[in-house]
Amino acid sequence: MLTFTIRRLVLSIPTLLFISLVIFLLLELAPGDPMAQVPLTVPPEVKERMREALGLGEPTHVRFFKWMYQFFVVEPMLLFDHIFGTAFAEGQQRVLSWQFRSPVMDVIVQRMPQTLWVVAMSYVVGILIALPIGIYSAYRQYSLFDQAGTFITMVGYSVPPFFSGVLVIVIFSVQLGWLPSIYDTTLEVVDWETFKKQILQMVMPVMVLALQTTAQISRFMRASMLDNLNQDYVRTARAKGLSEWAVVMVHVLRNSMIPVVTVIALGVPYIFGGAIITEQIFKVNGLGQLLITAIQANDLPMVQTVTFMIAVLIVFFNIVADVLYGVLDPRIRYD
């Protein structure tokens, strides 16, 4: 298993390099000029100096290699310096955001905690709700619970976040007044009162993001459980006198989790796509809103970096899913 994991990590390097090249070239070919928002009163020579300061006067391949060098070399060195108090990255040139006139990764690090609070919590909540629903729906197939679960999951699939987000604001914030409609990103958790405020303002965005996660994973869990409940090994386990709990929750569940692991692992990057819309609705000052403002301002370094980070998540969680296959199914031996 260790050999397979190392091999997959090594093979992911050329994959990520190719993805980064495609992202960079596609955005370079996109129309627009970062100097378009500069006032017309600014003299042409000042605009030209601004372009040179942002690195726009350099060839495309030079800017690409500088961007990759910053992502894979400079930023890890800065993190190493921060942890161990060294100065390996001192004097290194960093890629600047055209919109904020500051290093791209510094802006991303400032916004990342807000997104992780919402996205991570919504995904955990969605999984914890979806797995029991899928298991019990399959075990009690065509029961009232199964029919209700099917209806709710179909609603979760059908309703987009931009509609469900506005709907929960109207119900829980405007009509009932229970929850705040705007996410206060300046709130710092220092005592019990601020902790309660943080939880209350997270309820609605987490609810909206967790709805689609719950709908998707519960349907996969139900289908996978139904495929395994009628297998020969289940009848054999029951014939041996094992309890129904041991049959379902040990034997059937472990085999049923193999395809579900793929959905869970690969769903992590895609939930950030939903977070882009949700952050706009609830005014969460996170990576989603940062990406939208960067696109509007034609801030190519910021858009390239955020997009590439999502690609890194997709490749990484593909590897995690493959490794978990071997953990869940003893018949799978990669080495």
* pLDDT by position in tens, the chain (length 335): 677 777 878 888 888 888 888 888 887 777 766 666 666 676 777 777 777 766 666 777 878 888 888 777 777 777 777 666 676 666 667 777 777 777 788 888 888 888 877 888 888 888 888 888 888 888 888 888 888 888 888 887 788 777 888 888 888 888 887 888 777 777 776 678 777 887 888 888 888 888 888 888 888 888 888 888 878 888 888 888 878 788 888 788 878 887 888 788 777 777 777 677 777 788 777 787 888 888 877 778 888 888 888 888 888 888 887 777 767 666 666 55
- The pLDDT of residue 124 is 87
Number of domains in the chain: 1
- Residue 306: inside a domain: no
- The pLDDT of residue 249 is 82
DSSP 250-295: IIIHHHHHHHHHHHHHHHHHHHHHHHHHHHHHHT--SHHHHHHHHH
- Residue 229: inside a domain: yes
C-alpha to C-alpha distance for 308 and 64, rounded to whole angstroms:
13
- Residue 178: inside a domain: yes
Range of the domain at 160: 107-296
- Do residues 114 and 286 lie in contact, with contact meaning Cβ atoms separated by under 8 Å? yes
C-alpha to C-alpha distance for 143 and 136, rounded to whole angstroms:
10
Give the CATH number, domain containing residue 123.
Answer: 1.10.3720.10
Q: Which residue from 246, 260, 279, 278 is spatially nearest to 214, judged by alpha carbons? A: 260
- The pLDDT of residue 223 is 87
- Residue 246: inside a domain: yes
Distances from the Cα of 183 to the Cαs of 157, 179, 215, 289, in angstroms?
Answer: 25, 10, 25, 12
- Do residues 64 and 55 lie in contact, with contact meaning Cβ atoms separated by under 8 Å? no
- Residue 33: inside a domain: no
Distances from the Cα of 185 to the Cαs of 1, 107, 113, 114, 213, in angstroms?
Answer: 42, 15, 10, 7, 24
- Residue 122: inside a domain: yes
- Do residues 99 and 251 lie in contact, with contact meaning Cβ atoms separated by under 8 Å? no
- Residue 146: inside a domain: yes
What is the C-alpha end-to-end distance of the chain, expressed in Å?
6
- Do residues 95 and 183 lie in contact, with contact meaning Cβ atoms separated by under 8 Å? no
- Residue 257: inside a domain: yes
C-alpha to C-alpha distance for 205 and 275, rounded to whole angstroms:
9
